[in-house]
Amino acid sequence: VEFLAEDEMTNIIPNVRMDALNMICGDFGPFRPQIPVKVPLWLAIALKKRGKCRIQPPDWMAVERLTQVLDSEREAPREFEPLPFHYVEISRLLFDYARDDIPDIYLVRSLIEDIRDVRFHKVETGLELINSRNHGMKLKNLSAMEVNLVRPFMVRAFQAFDKHDYGDQVLDGNSQPTSSDRGKRIIKDKEGNELVPKFKAHHRGMILSERKECHEEIQKLLKGGFIQESNSPWSCATFYVNKRSEQLRQKKRLVVDYKPLNKFISAVQHPILTKDDLLSRIKGSKVYSKFDLKSGFWQIFLRPEDSYKTAFVVPGGQYEWKKWFVSPTKMEVFKDEIDFLGIKIKDGSIEMQKHVVSKIQEFPDELKEKEQLQRFLGCVNYVAGFYKNIAADRILLNKRLKKNAPAWSQEMTEAVKRIKKQVLELPRMSLPGQGQKVIECDASDLYWGAVLKEKMPNGKEKVCRYASGSFQGFETEIPFYA
């Protein structure tokens, strides 16, 4: 949703002299080095990517201002501090593309996340009050994300008015559900019968061992009251997956393919934190807990009247869900170390798990097939933050993915060998804490590299992350001075 904020105006500090840019949306510039100029955020990011400017963070992103906003939000349970309508989206764009231009970025990120969480809670609390006490409430200074929280409530309110005005009037019986119909009302024909989406799954078949395992799992779910036999006209297929998590517990996982059903429901949009965001929240921690939400959608509450829509088929029967399910057995509580998203976390530091390293070692030294090379580079990208100066070897292999790519060469084979050897020696990294941050940079005519370190109170430095890349196009012509 960040694109919603791309037209917001922001200040940039040009690094080069440029004439005015004549755009359909307006004229911007001229640009003079070190003289601030206001441009749309999308243009600021485009110039930033080309090394032609720095982006000035807006005044409201200053640590002092954010601290004041957070304190005010906590003190006033029914009021919202004025912030830009797209403050969440603006901050995400700046975090992604202008990290080096934001002073105290980790503190700024943490403050904005706290402000967002407090405001979200206030919105949800306000809606609960309206539901429980039947009175109105003013919610001023809401942002786009917070308005999105109110939207389901407003839809229900309009549905209530609609039902009051039109009673049980139904849609045209000849129509099919569209995106505008989803989540609004049941679609019925002229006789009052509900129209059913035209999908009815047939089971794809299972090998004998999976059939036995499936039968045992279905009986367990029936006995636990989680599912029941179904004659629903809706049904989706099932199959087993056997990924690494399933291999570790030595048990395959039964999955329902709900893609056909998903076409008839409206998704609830919610921002998901990245791995780096999650890791930044546990800096300084020494005791960890992890809860495994087994079987994905089983964590969702289910209304009884919607049970028939969840029908699925297995060898020998059709069933539907009755209630939600959560397994408390797959959790790790108060541990000194845990495995999380391919990373081992211990004592405020992180290292790659062995299975990630082993996966890279399984690839052959010659990767002549494009898809195979893409999978290899995908695995390598996952460990890039632990790998010093990976850019040269990675960029050499990237040439094979371009149009009119060169033939596989011995040089590329040697690059794969170097990567596989280096991956075996990946260091343990520290999570950035409260210590003084040190960034060491280096560059050649073609490549650049950087190391993020943290200086501890005892004077020692710990490595937090590596980064490297290559200069592209006009960047190779820009002079750099040490």
DSSP string, 393-428: HHHHHHGGGSTTPPPP-HHHHHHHHHHHHHHTTPPP
The stretch 310-323 carries a mean pLDDT of: 87
Q: Is 407 domain-assigned?
A: yes
Please tell me whether residues 270 and 387 are part of one structural domain.
no
Find all residues with CB under 8 Å of 291, minimum gap 6, and list them.
330, 331
- Say if CB 318 and CB 309 are below 8 A apart: no
Q: Percent of the chain beyond pLDDT 70?
A: 77
The number of distinct structural domains making up the chain is 3
The confidence score (pLDDT) of residue 159 equals: 52
Q: Is 144 domain-assigned?
A: no
Please tell me whether residues 264 and 352 are part of one structural domain.
no
Q: Which residue has the higher pLDDT, 4 or 411?
A: 411
* CATH (domain of 78): 3.40.5.50
Please tell me whether residues 310 and 404 are part of one structural domain.
no
- Out of 117-121, 163-167, 406-410, 454-458, pick the least confident: 163-167
pTM beyond cutoff 0.95: no
CA dihedral of residues 5, 9, 11, 12 (deg, nearest 10): 70
Q: What is the mean pLDDT of the chain?
A: 79
Q: Is 141 domain-assigned?
A: no
Containing structural domain, residue 123:
2-133
Which of 331, 361, 393 is the endpoint of a domain?
Answer: 331
Vertex 71 angle, CA 69 and 77, to 5°: 95
Of the candidates 50, 148, 62, the residue with the CA atom closest to the CA atom of residue 107: 62
Give the range with max mean pLDDT: 150-164, 184-198, 208-222, 297-311: 208-222
Please tell me whether residues 319 and 357 are part of one structural domain.
no
Q: Is 260 domain-assigned?
A: yes
**What are the φ/ψ torsions at residue 91 (nearest 5 degrees)?**
-65, -40
The stretch 169-192 carries a mean pLDDT of: 41
pLDDT tens-place string over residues 349-383: 999 999 889 999 999 999 989 889 999 999 998 89
- Which helix or strand (DSSP H or E) is residue 112 part of? helix 105-133
Find all residues with CB under 8 Å of 40, minimum gap 6, and list them.
6, 7, 8, 9, 10, 25, 28
* CATH (domain of 225): 3.10.10.10
Which of 133, 164, 197 is the endpoint of a domain?
Answer: 133
Q: Percent of the chain beyond pLDDT 90?
A: 27
Which of 102, 133, 164 is the endpoint of a domain?
Answer: 133
On the question of pLDDT at 419 being above 90, the answer is: yes
Q: Is 64 domain-assigned?
A: yes
**What are the φ/ψ torsions at residue 448 (nearest 5 degrees)?**
-135, 155
Please tell me whether residues 351 and 430 are part of one structural domain.
yes
The confidence score (pLDDT) of residue 48 equals: 92
Q: Which residue has the higher pLDDT, 45 or 133?
A: 45
